[in-house]
Amino acid sequence: MMATITAARRERAPLARAKLMKMTRHAVGVAGFLLAWQFLGASGLVKWLPSAADTLARAVSLTVDPVFLEDLWGTLSAALIGLPLAVLVAVPIGLLLGTVPAVEEMTRVFVEFLRPIPSVALIPLALFFFQPEINAKVALIVFAASWPILINTVYGVRDVDPLGKETLRSFGFGKGAIIWRVSLPSAAPFIATGVRLAASITLILAVSFEYIVGGSSGIGSFLIEASTGIGADAMIDVIAALLWAGLIGLVVNSLLVRAERRLFKWRST
């Protein structure tokens, strides 16, 4: 028994060391970036750049700033509504296009026409058709976030092993059962990757919408107000808000990557 435990520990030791080395490299990279930033800001070599210490202190103080917290929630709430809606829209359509070639051929022109359109260019249309403002923001998020999920779903369904589908057909299962039991589970890792890509798009589009429209709340609205200020304090507010936007994106991506690894361990083997 003890020998088995010892052997298991020896097997885990290289993985633990590799993980520690990876975390160390990340920490060194972040520390180096902050030191360079502090030097450039404090020395005045870059006139408009505030020091890292002042900016990080302001970023921390924003956590108790009710105005910023309201703006932060304005962005996050739209993203939290828009991303699930995009999944609900894109996955069924992707399954349909991936499993019925005739439908995919009929809609290919529309998909290739709509997909390259920049979502921010549709802001006037969204504001015209959807009111209040939050509905327009969510509608644009759904439009933009649906594409990576849709495309990944289509490719995932096409990548399904034909043998699995033929096996179910031989047992008398219909097309719906084959999609549910074989196609969807096999395409799930592709869909998860699409959702992770879409999560970044939701945050980018939400902030862009708020910044262009100048709405009542959101990180983009906070950036507009901060940029109208004068002096170094205004730039500190802008960069501190951007740090929070980047941090949120980093955390969300890390959580989704971890979820993918836990749910689809077999994929990395």
For residues 261 and 264, what is the distance between their CA atoms, to the nearest angstrom?
Answer: 5
Question: Which residue, chain included where needed, has tokens 């520690």?
Answer: 20
Confidence of residue 13 (pLDDT cuts 50, 70, 90): low
Neighbours of 32 (CB within 10 A): 10
Residue 12, pLDDT > 70, answer no
Phi, psi of 191 (to 5 degrees): -65, -40
Length of the chain: 269
Predicted local distance difference test score (pLDDT) of residue 260: 86
Instruction: Judge whether 140 and 207 are in contact, CB under 8 Å.
Output: no
Q: Minimal CA–CA distance to 252: which of 209, 195, 188, 211?
A: 195
CA-atom Rg of the chain in angstroms: 24
Contact assessment for residue 56 and residue 47, using Cβ atoms and an 8 Å cutoff: no
Number of H helices, E strands in the chain: 11, 0
pLDDT tens for residues 212-258?
887 678 898 899 888 876 656 788 999 999 999 999 999 999 999 88
Above 50 in pLDDT, residue 37? yes
Q: Which pLDDT value is given to residue 6?
A: 55
* Of 164, 54, 150, the residue nearest 111 (C-alpha): 150
User: What pLDDT shows up at residue 104?
Assistant: 86
Residue 164 contacts residue 182 (beta carbons within 8 Å): yes
Q: Is the pLDDT of residue 28 over 80?
A: yes
| pLDDT tens readout for residues 130-153 | 888 888 999 999 999 999 999 999
Q: What is the pLDDT of residue 266?
A: 64
Question: Could you tell me the pTM of the whole model?
Answer: 0.84
**Residue 99 C-beta-side C-alpha neighbours within 13 Å:** 22
Distance CA(243)–CA(136), nearest Å, equals 26
Exposure string (b/e) for 109-144, b if CB count within 10 Å is 16 or more? eeeeeeeeeebeebbeebbeeeeebbebbbbbbbbb
Give the span between the Cα atoms of 248 and 200, in whole angstroms: 10
DSSP-assigned letter for residue 168: H
Give the model's confidence band at 40: pLDDT under 50 very low, under 70 low, under 90 confident, else very high: confident
Q: Which residues contact 77 (CB under 8 A, 6 or more apart)?
A: 134
In 10 A of CB 241, how many CB atoms?
24
> What is the phi-psi region of residue 132: left when phi exceeds 0, alpha when psi lies from -120 to 50, beta otherwise?
beta
Least confident stretch, 58-62, 84-88, 130-134: 130-134
190 CA to centre of own chain:
15
Q: Is the pLDDT of residue 27 over 70?
A: yes
